[in-house]
């Protein structure tokens, strides 16, 4: 008899990585939200990190960053440090209050992407990444890492901060390696903790067709959509994140 979980996982991965391919972030919220309906939460979290890392590698291969290493590499390091801090502070947080506050902030960000950024003159958005990062860039990456380590969702601060400055490709490109580094750090932590077992690997392999299709079609859509439509797609993802945090 075929395990129904193995049939559902490719569909979840397809949706999650269609979002990832189009925006550069967001698959964890889809995988965790839907996967937790039929898999143990711990398994879903580990699976999410493994799949996100795999997708990140594929996206870097298909749309590599040329140069700008002095900009995005320090951001990846800062986000990794923040993830450690967030993980260590997890027990100090009252999640029932923290999540509601964060949900309101992310909802406001989603509205801004839908209304504010969508109306922004494209000439105001840069098509190129800076040569180096500054202290403010590092601070935002650190904050994103802390949130990711504490509650599992660290994308919104980076998305808002960079979304005000960069056009869609320059926005997505640094997000991919930065979140790849965070996913890799989490996954190797799970390996060290003995949380990656045979079942997780089976689920990962079952998800792979959906992941590949999602990244493929997401990438194709990304290069075709306008800045306005891109902003509104990001807005929908952010509103979904806010709703998930609030419930």
3-state helix/strand/coil string of the chain: CCCHHHHHHHHHHHHHHHHHHHHCCCHHHHHHHHHCCCCCHHHHHHHHHHHHHHHHHHHHHHCCCCCCHHHHHHHHHHHHHHHHHHHHCHHHCCHHHHHHHHHHHHHHHHHHHHHHHHHCCHHHCECCCCCCCCHHHHHHHHHHHHHHHHHCCCHHHHHHHHHCCECHHHHHHHHHHHHHHHHHHHHHHHHHCCCCCHHHHHHHHHHHHHHHHHHHHHHHHHHHCCHHHHHHHHHHHHHHHHHHHHC
Question: Is a pLDDT exceeding 80 seen at residue 3?
Answer: no
Nearest-angstrom CA–CA distance, 47 and 57: 16
More confident position, 183 or 8: 8
pLDDT at 165: 84
Predicted pLDDT at 1: 46
More confidently predicted of 109 and 215: 215
pLDDT digits (tens, 9 = 90+) for 83-110: 777 766 655 555 556 667 667 777 887 8
**Cβ-contact 83, 145 below 8 angstroms:** yes
Share of the chain above pLDDT 90, in %: 16
Counting residues of the chain whose pLDDT is more than 70, the rounded percentage is: 87
Q: What residues does each domain of the chain span?
A: 4-246
- What does the pLDDT look like over 25-62, one tens digit per residue? 778 777 877 787 788 877 887 888 889 889 989 988 88
Give phi and psi for 162, each to the nearest 5. Answer: -80, -30
CB 13 within 8 A of CB 211: yes
* 206: pLDDT strictly greater than 90: yes
pLDDT tens string 145-186: 887 766 666 777 888 888 888 888 788 888 888 888 888 877
pLDDT value, residue 152? 63
- On the question of pLDDT at 245 being above 80, the answer is no
| Rg of the chain on CA atoms, in Å | 17
For residue 65, what pLDDT is reported? 78
Whether the per-residue pLDDT at 244 is higher than 50: the answer is yes
**Of 97 and 187, the one with more pLDDT:** 187
């Amino acid at each position: 008899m075929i395990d129904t979980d193995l049939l559902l996982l490719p569909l979840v991965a397809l949706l999650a990585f269609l979002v990832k391919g189009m925006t550069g972030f967001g698959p964890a919220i889809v995988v965790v939200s839907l996967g937790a309906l039929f898999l143990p939460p711990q398994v879903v979290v580990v699976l999410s990190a493994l799949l996100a890392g795999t997708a990140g590698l594929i996206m870097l291969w298909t749309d590599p960053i040329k140069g700008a290493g002095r900009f995005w590499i320090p951001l990846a390091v800062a986000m990794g440090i923040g993830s450690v801090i967030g993980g260590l502070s997890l027990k100090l947080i009252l999640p029932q209050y923290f999540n509601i506050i964060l949900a309101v902030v992310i909802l406001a960000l989603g509205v801004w992407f839908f209304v504010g950024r969508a109306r922004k003159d494209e000439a105001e958005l840069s098509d190129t990444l800076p040569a180096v990062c500054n202290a403010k860039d590092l601070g935002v990456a650190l904050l994103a890492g802390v949130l990711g380590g504490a509650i599992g969702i660290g994308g919104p601060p980076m998305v808002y901060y960079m979304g005000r400055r960069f056009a869609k490709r320059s926005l997505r490109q640094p997000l991919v390696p930065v979140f790849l580094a965070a996913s890799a750090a989490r996954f190797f932590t799970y390996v060290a903790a003995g949380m990656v077992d045979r079942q997780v690997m089976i689920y990962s392999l079952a998800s792979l067709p959906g992941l590949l299709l999602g990244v493929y079609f997401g990438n194709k859509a990304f290069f075709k959509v306008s800045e306005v439509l891109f902003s509104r797609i990001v807005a929908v993802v952010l509103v979904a994140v806010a709703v998930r945090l609030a419930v």
